[in-house]
Amino acid sequence: MATRNITPRKVKLTPTDIPGVFRNKVGTLVDENNVALSFKALRTKDQERFSEALGGGEVTQPAELLKAVALDPRLPLHTRLDAANKAAPYFTPKKVAIQGVEGAAPIGIQDVAALPQKDLDRLEALYAQAAKLLGSAQ
């Protein structure tokens, strides 16, 4: 009996946005050798992409998840922009301007997040006192 060499047929694979993951003609997610991928493998690939987007590490905080969503090019632009908008306060501290009293030294703009808790409590008490005075003046 003669043996013949059987060469594998080249199956057309459509690339996806995940590196190393393709769709075959049936629509199944496969690797470059047309081997079907499990959901666990896809989840691992997604976790690797999120980890790369965050510079390594896993997503453990809401701010990190929002950042990963904002940096994921597979998601629609409006979703990414919404995530970036919601993540911004976690990564960019707000600056607060405080008006000085006439005759006193000027008060500059300060990063409120850098103030000690004692100063924050005092600032909050002064704000409440000012609000009470303004409310009684009307």
Domain ranges of the chain: 14-91, 95-137
Letter string b/e over residues 120-133, b meaning 16 or more CB atoms within 10 A of that residue's CB = eeeeeeeeeeeeee
pLDDT digits (tens, 9 = 90+) for 125-136: 888 888 888 776
Give yes or no for a contact between 33 and 43, defined as CB atoms under 8 angstroms apart. no
Overall average pLDDT of the 109-127 stretch:
80
pLDDT digits (tens, 9 = 90+) for 23-81: 888 888 888 888 887 777 777 777 777 666 666 666 678 888 888 888 877 778 898 89
End-to-end CA distance of the chain: 107
Is pLDDT above 70 for 116?
yes
What phi and psi, each to the nearest 5 degrees, are found at residue 100? -85, 170
Structure confidence at residue 37 (pLDDT) = 79
Question: Comparing C-alpha atoms, which of 97, 86, 31 is closest to residue 63?
Answer: 86
Structure confidence at residue 55 (pLDDT) = 64
> How many CB atoms neighbour CB 16 within 10 A?
15
